[in-house]
Structure 1
Amino acid sequence: MKPSSPPVEPGDLVELDITGIAHDGAGVGRYEGFTLFVSGALPEERVRARVVEVAKTFGRAEVAKVLAPSSLRAAPPCPVAGACGGCTLQHVAYEGQLALKRRIVADAFARIARLPDVPVRPVLGMDDPWRYRNKVQVPVGEEDGRLVAGFFAKGTHAVVDLNGCLLQPGPMEAAVRAVKEAAAELGIPPYDHVRHEGVLRHVVVRVGFRTGEVMVILVVTTPAVPHLDELVAAVRARVPGVRSIVLNVNRAKSSVVLGDQTRLLWGREVIHDELGGLRFAISPRSFYQVNPPQTELLYEQVRRYAALTGTETVVDAYCGVGTIALVLARHAKEVYGVEVVPEAVRDARRNAALNGIANARFEVGRAEDVLPRWRAEGLRPDVVVVDPPRKGCARPLLDTLVRLKPARVVYVSCNPATLARDCRILADGGFRVVEVQPVDLFPHTAHVECVALLENENVL
């Protein structure tokens, strides 16, 4: 029998009830039995939606009109919230955002991990969920012959010009504005993200949340930037707290922001910040959580789940610049961190020295390669912490954890779907998923960070 075709086509207007929410914050509903993911829609709403994309088993649509609004719906305070692709949940009251994020996590464990009974605790939110970011990557473009900088419009490479963002603190806004204005005054050609022409691609700004130190990274297509000295002088004069100005060359025709070639133009190679009573050096390519107050909550949850007494050996896979490892080192016998990025390991070692921590060792490599070697050398960790990228843990690493049999695994994740997938694998290998604590590191977006505690039921 010939399979039936989808009941909708791109451009169609349809009415449907929204019954769920997807991991990206889109509402989920069914039209004549066909699943539609509707951006801008919320559970328990009835909407009129315009279909924009159709696949064999699902389609994507956008809200044309809300016919019966959810009690969670609110007016976005940002004037460009609808056009900008940065905030996807500003149309939801903050308490409602936390409820939706818990639902996303619980749905992932029920649907993907097939563990519907795992306790998912209420999301830890912020008292003031605005101006929390310590890093921003702003694309530069051209509009009507003038240089603009802001964020990409949703689903496009068109730059929405912004002179302020409610998620950015004042020093960050000042730095972006200074580069934008100075580059326009000096005639530095902005980058065209479609034709891949021009010079200035992105402005990346990092801010020490507690120190106030600012790093400005100019992402360009060539090291021969016209009027570069004048641009550096303008940034120094206009940005309070600037301590580092860096040039990064990215010639790739891709959406990756930073290229491989980095050169210090002025100031220091790093800025500093303080987190959990420790001081950290942050270089241009360092991974460092973007919301420091919530990161402290996150790491405190990691520490509680690790349940350290001072006698344990801890392994921190995907250790980055050593933030989690160094927080735990004060409560453990010894900590071993592994990370594939050499610059991050260098920063981790520097951060250990900066804080006088001598019981932490860091090594460059893939965790799935290094942990078996450490095991062969006699290392038997009591606790393993994993904090992988969005794609989750490499399967060989999960298999290694099953063989290592640590008493506890503490899994930190920015992607509930891959967290649930990996927890299923570990559960099949003898671990019990005790509970999951979501933490809202990214208010007004659909992203949610989680900490999951797994205990080994087969500890030797």
Structure 2
Amino acid sequence: MKKNDVVKVTIEDIGINGEGIGKIQNYPLFVKGGIPGDEILARITKTKKTYGYGRVEEILHPSPDRIEPPCPIAEPCGGCQLQALSYEKQLTFKEKTVKGNLERIGKVPSPLLEKVMNPIVGMEEPFRYRNKAAYPIGRNRDGRIVAGFYAGRTHQIIPVDDCLLGKKENKTILNKIISHMEKHQIEPYDEVGHRGLIRHVLIRYGEKTGEWMVSIVINGNTIPKKEELIEALVGIQGMTSISLSVNKKNTNVIMGNEIITIWGQEYITDKIGDLSFQISPLAFYQVNQKQTEKLYNLALTYADLKGKEKVWDLYCGIGTISLFLAQKAEMVYGVEVVPEAIENAKENAKINGLANARFYVGKAEEVLPAHIKEHGRAEVIVVDPPRKGCAESLLETMVNMEPERIVYVSCDSATLARDVKYLRENGYELREVTPVDQFGMTVHVECVCLMTRKET
């Protein structure tokens, strides 16, 4: 086979990026847009020695699990890799992904995995769940100012009037900002020439409180006629915080470090369970509030706190999991490398009247050893690392602390599996695993697992 050949293939599986996988004489072909069960004609886009890539040229016989994507631009946008697959089968795929990674990478024996793995926790409504969205602003081919998302692996903006994963009100907010730009001839940012003013618009929503935050990322110090823009935005019910994020760097990082509040509060508030959290423009906060509540309740259940335990919460962010745990523990110590997040965490502890939570800035592998003598051994350690998982030095530190239980919250089951392998080889055993679908229509899946110290 060579590039631009058209071949007939049946899609049998899904790859980690949501592409369909078929085989031609045992040669794997990754086909964007293919769904397991599809019989298609695929055009070859790239060939390698042991596998190739293609795109759907024609669907000869659609899979019984194929549905019409509700979003008309799902394919060019690329943010929803699984929108053409029924939600039930999306959950099956994610459950299979977690299990496969734990078996293949984590070397967890199949009989043990069958015993400890629970069914995935799905969503009641897999659309309109995102409480946060960051829209790049630019011009389309006709020269009109548009908001949207970057097409996969490009910096070409796909105009999006109404993303079905976000809130309906996002469209109204974006239209008001674009109307202001057009009226006052305010240029969107051009990353090639590093010119223009408006780079991105960040929108956050408090699911339980109804509070809205808008943070406009600018390549400058202010916005012309900002009072007029503020007047337009505050007419939206629940508007609580409007700010400017100054980012003058030639970078693909969205937010700048300088936040200037131009109206209202510096934060919005949301609730998970009975706890309230202040959320600033730069704070990490889970984008799916309803599923997060389920995820954190699982973590709390796995921690099995009786009221006398000391708990370390590593990668604690603004203290969301820490404060959940503090409701049942004697003392919780949170660790996070971002100083602003720790300040948020301390304030959130005050808001919720939880005096049994302390927070430290720094790398967990450095903070933990420094405070073992002061605080003594912890019965439980909770980790919620970024996609790259835990550093091996941190895993080693955790093992040396000898907690009874380790609760691992993961957003990447491949790095989770790698870390589970290390912990199983160093005195711990996997006791329970539950995937949680935080990101319907995408390939991403959260997971929470419990590991306990083996009896010697």
What TM-score, normalized to structure 1?
0.93
Q: Which amino acid aligns with 2:136?
A: P
Letter in 1 for 2:205: V
Distance 1:307 1:242, change over 3 A: same
Look up the equivalent residue of 1:243 and give its one-letter code.
Answer: T
Rounded Cα–Cα distance in structure 2 between residues aligned with 1:369 and 1:54: 46
The 2-side partners of 1:12 and 1:192 are apart by: 37
Say whether the 8 Å CA contact 1:97–1:444 is kept in structure 2: yes
Rounded Cα–Cα distance in structure 2 between residues aligned with 1:60 and 1:158: 22
What is the aligned partner in structure 1 of residue 102 from structure 2? 109
Report how far residue 47 of structure 1 moved: 2.8
Distance 1:73 1:116, change over 3 A: farther
Counterpart residue identity of residue 215, structure 1:
M
Letter in 1 for 2:73: V
Letter in 1 for 2:437: D
5 Å-filtered alignment, 1:225-244, equals: 225-237=223-235, 239-244=236-241
Match of 2:146 among 142, 145, 148: 148
Whole-Å separation in 1 of the counterparts to 2:374 and 2:29: 53
Deviation, structure 1 residue 170:
2.9
Q: Show the counterpart of 1:129.
A: 126
Q: Which residue of 1 aligns with 2:355?
A: 358
Alpha-carbon offset, residue 458 of structure 1: 4.8
Alpha-carbon distance, 1:224 to partner: 4.3
Instruction: Return 376-385 or 124-133, whichever deviates more.
Output: 376-385
- Contact (CA 8 Å) 1:188, 1:227: kept in 2 or not? no
Contact 2:127–2:165 (CA under 8 A) maintained in structure 1: yes
Partner of 1:95: 88
The residue identity in structure 2 corresponding to 1:381 is A
Paired position in structure 2 for 1:65: 58
Tell me the CA shift for residue 55 of structure 1: 4.5
Note if 1:423 corresponds to 2:416.
no
Q: Hey, what does 1:79 align to over in structure 2?
A: 72
Which of 196, 203, 215 aligns to 1:217? It is: 215
Question: Aligned equivalents of 1:452 and 1:256: distance in 2?
Answer: 32
Return the alpha-carbon distance in structure 1 between the equivalents of residues 177 and 343 of structure 2: 29
- Give distance in 2, aligned partners of 1:439 and 1:256: 28
Name the aligned partner's letter for residue 174 of structure 2.
V
Aligned counterparts, 1:255-404, within 5 A: 255-404=252-401
- C-alpha distance in structure 2 between counterparts of 1:224 and 1:367, whole Å: 38
Give per-residue Cα distances to partners, 1:420-456, cap 9 Å, x unaligned.
Answer: 1111111111211122101111111111111011111
Distance in 2 separating the partners of 1:159 and 1:348:
35
What one-letter code is carried by the residue in structure 1 that aligns with 2:440? P
Is there any run of 5+ residues in structure 2 with no aligned partner, and where?
A: none
Task: Report which stretch shifted further, 319-328 or 249-258.
Answer: 249-258
* CA distance in structure 1 between the aligned counterparts of 2:254 and 2:49, rounded to whole angstroms: 33
The 2-side partners of 1:97 and 1:260 are apart by 37
CA distance in 2, matches of 1:100, 1:408: 29
Cα RMSD for the two superposed structures: 1.8
Count of matched residue pairs: 451
Of 79-88 and 316-325, the range deviating more from structure 2: 79-88
Contact 1:381 1:406 in 2 (8 A): yes
**Structure 2 contact 35–84 (Cα < 8 Å) conserved:** no
CA deviations 1:294-343 (Å, max 9, x no partner) are 11110111111111111111110000000101011011111000001111
Residue of structure 1 in register with 2:453 after alignment: 456
**Cα offset, 1:192, TM superposition:** 2.7
Unaligned 5+ runs, structure 1: 1-6
Q: Secondary structure at the match of 1:83?
A: helix
Q: 1:416 to 1:47 in 2, by over 3 A?
A: farther
- In structure 2, relative to structure 1, the CA distance for the partners of 1:93 and 1:193 (3 Å cut) is farther
- Aligned-partner Cα distance in 2 for 1:224–1:269: 17
Q: Which residue identity is paired with 2:99?
A: A
CA gap 1:259/1:12 in 2 versus in 1, 3 angstroms = farther
Query: What is the DSSP-based 3-state SS (H/G/I as helix, E as strand, rest coil) of the residue aligned with 1:206?
Result: strand
8 Å contact kept, 1:216–1:246: yes
Deviation (angstroms), 1:152: 1.7
One-letter amino acid of the structure 2 residue matched with residue 71 of structure 1: P
1:245 partner amino acid: I
Whole-Å Cα distance in 1 between the matches of residues 53 and 183 of structure 2? Answer: 42
% of aligned pairs identical?
46
> CA contact under 8 A between 2:309 and 2:329: conserved in structure 1?
yes
| Closer, same or farther: CA 296–352 of 1 in aligned 2, 3 Å | same
Q: Aligned partners of 2:38 and 2:444: how far apart in 1?
A: 21
Q: How many Å separate the matches in 2 of 1:232 and 1:327?
A: 36
1:378, CA displacement in angstroms?
4.7
Q: What secondary structure, in the 3-state scheme, does the structure 1 residue paired with 2:74 have?
A: coil
- Separation (CA, whole Å) in 2 of partners of 1:221 and 1:148: 17
Structure 1 residue 290, shift from structure 2 partner:
0.5
